[in-house]
Amino acid sequence: MSSDLDPNSELPTPATDSGEPPASDAETSLSTVENGGAMSDPFSFELQASQVVTDQAVAAASENAVEDLEVKDAQIIFNTVWEDLENEIGHENLRFSKELILLGGAPGSGKGTNSEFISKVRGLTCPPIIVSDLLNTPEAQRIKEAGGMVGDTEVVGILFRKLLQPAYRDGCILDGFPRTRVQVECLHLLIQKMNQLYREYHTTPLAINFRKPTVHAVVLFIDERTSIERQLLRGRKIAAHNERVVLEGAGQEIELRPTDLDPIAAKRRYRVFKEKTWDALQSLKQIYHYHFIDADGSIEEVEQKIRVELDYQSSLELDPETYDAVRGLPLATELGVHARQELVRRLDSYQLEHGELFHAVIDIIEERFMPIIQRHAIAGLAVINSEDTIFEDPLTLAMVIDVFAERGFRGVANINFAETPDHFDLKTGKITCRTKKIFRFQVRFEGSEIRRGGR
Ligand SMILES: Nc1ncnc2c1ncn2[C@@H]1O[C@H](COP(=O)(O)OP(=O)(O)O)[C@@H](O)[C@H]1O
């Protein structure tokens, strides 16, 4: 290994210790490649939303899962509910909401807190439908109190009936639906039926009642710890409120969920969400408008994130085909949420699976990179060139970037090729060059602002 770092590396044109300019046009940035491994389940990034809910999209999503028993269950459940509704209220009265806003997220993620605000942003005047509040049978109550989920048949039957109320004709927020894959399938089937009704009636005087549906999924993300904290916080607030009502004899008591008082039950609710609901919500991306919100932060901050996300998507009125072309790419907001966990996983795997190499890289950083970085502490940016052959292995470049990230620096690695004259033929005048590989690391960090003292 040669000791070929440039301790005097300066901006903007860094030089190697040989003094030769390293840059070339054939610059290959590895930083993004190496730093962006796929995310692991259950929080994987998948497809983004599509603009229009076409039958093909819905059918394709169902087709993928056709072998699945849950899908068959969903079809049976849906058909039963639909038939009952047709018999009860009649085919031409199956008038559902034009716009459905599916508000999802772990318990305590802020669905209740933010639904009023979302209604305002979307111009809805009807109150949100809180799906768990619709489930009031003694059996459903018992399941809810234990932190479990009520059966899909019951949920779908009650919810579809509720959606038919005239107050929801233009649109409504569904707080807590869908929560399972079966419910997602039932939603797809409902949208298919609504599209059929649209086609059936769109040249008739009843057309206004059967508009093409639009569906937005707004998913609030928080981690387990925050979910439990907020459930318990809600429990304490409601208990205090109810005590005041009893004491003062004025006001109305609010229903207190037993899971909001018990950390173990609150944790169980989060686990049920993670195991049953998270994937179901993720699958909505493939078909509907999908808004992923990092719901960590104060209520005002979360509101702001929701506003930005909803404004952003509604201002982008892309052609469906254009949107389809880009929707497979993950959103920056989603990547950020799990970047830290992914970094930890990668660093641990270097230590476990490539321990020797990892320690060699750390030694180089400590002994040769850090002195240069320290010298650039005011600028907050150092560029280091190396010809060390250890960096021929792309894994070592990833290690450098990740180690810097772990320590709070932002690292970028490039490979540069420099042509240097090696041989001059006196007879022919021909110059033969040698190509040198130079590894360049840019390291950024918060610089220190030092001002000159007053005169
Ligand atoms: N961004 C936030 N910061 C702090 N507390 C919050 C935030 N969002 C919600 N809460 C509180 O967390 C608790 C649960 O919120 P809630 O809206 O009822 O969640 P969900 O309806 O998703 O279960 C409530 O006490 C609420 O006031």
Alpha helix ranges (H) inside 249-383: 263-272, 278-283, 299-315, 320-326, 332-353, 355-364, 370-375
* Dist. CA 107 → ligand 1 center (Å): 8
Domain assignment of residue 14, yes or no: no
Based on the fold, state whether residues 269 and 196 are members of the same structural domain.
Answer: yes
Inter-axis angle of helices 181-201 and 69-89, nearest 10: 40
Q: What is the pLDDT of residue 323?
A: 66
Which CATH number covers residue 141?
3.40.50.300
Q: What is the pLDDT of residue 302?
A: 96
Domain assignment of residue 16, yes or no: no
Q: What is the pLDDT of residue 310?
A: 83
Based on the fold, state whether residues 155 and 289 are members of the same structural domain.
Answer: yes
Residue 203 neighbours by CB under 8 Å, 6+ apart:
none
Q: What is the pLDDT of residue 142?
A: 85
Cβ < 6 A, ligand 1 pocket: 105, 107-113, 230, 233-234, 237, 297-299, 302
Domain assignment of residue 50, yes or no: no
* Dist. CA 129 → ligand 1 center (Å): 17
Q: Which of 103, 109, 113 maximizes ligand 1 atoms within 8 Å of its Cβ, making it the mutation to test the pocket?
A: 113
Based on the fold, state whether residues 378 and 433 are members of the same structural domain.
Answer: yes
β-partners of residue 294 are 221
Q: Which of 275, 306, 329 is the last residue of a domain?
A: 329
Q: What is the pLDDT of residue 278?
A: 93
Residue nearest atom 18 of ligand 1, based on CA coordinates? 112
Asked if omega into 394 is within 30° of 0 (cis), the reply is no
Based on the fold, state whether residues 277 and 372 are members of the same structural domain.
Answer: no
* Dist. CA 293 → ligand 1 center (Å): 14
Based on the fold, state whether residues 397 and 271 are members of the same structural domain.
Answer: no
Based on the fold, state whether residues 266 and 395 are members of the same structural domain.
Answer: no
Residue identified by tokens 């929080």 is 43
Residue 266 neighbours by CB under 8 Å, 6+ apart:
107, 108, 147, 227, 228, 231, 232, 259, 260
Domain that holds residue 351: 28-38+341-444
Residue nearest atom 2 of ligand 1, based on CA coordinates? 299
**Strand extents, DSSP E, 233-277:** none
d(CA 445, CA 443): 7
Based on the fold, state whether residues 123 and 225 are members of the same structural domain.
Answer: yes
How many structural domains does the chain have? 2
Domain assignment of residue 17, yes or no: no
Domain assignment of residue 246, yes or no: yes
Based on the fold, state whether residues 311 and 392 are members of the same structural domain.
Answer: no
Domain assignment of residue 23, yes or no: no
Per-10-residue mean pLDDT for the chain, 455 residues long?
37 33 32 31 30 56 58 92 95 94 96 94 91 85 83 92 94 95 96 95 91 91 95 96 94 92 95 92 89 93 91 59 70 70 86 95 97 94 96 96 95 92 87 90 86 56
* Dist. CA 49 → ligand 1 center (Å): 26
Atom of ligand 1 nearest to the CA of 113: 17
Based on the fold, state whether residues 147 and 33 are members of the same structural domain.
Answer: no
Q: Which helix (H) or strand (E) holds 412?
A: strand 410-424
Residue 113 neighbours by CB under 8 Å, 6+ apart:
299, 302
Based on the fold, state whether residues 255 and 395 are members of the same structural domain.
Answer: no
Q: What is the pLDDT of residue 272?
A: 93
Domain assignment of residue 198, yes or no: yes
Q: What is the pLDDT of residue 324?
A: 66
Q: Quote ipTM for the complex.
A: 0.89
Based on the fold, state whether residues 66 and 33 are members of the same structural domain.
Answer: no
Domain assignment of residue 414, yes or no: yes
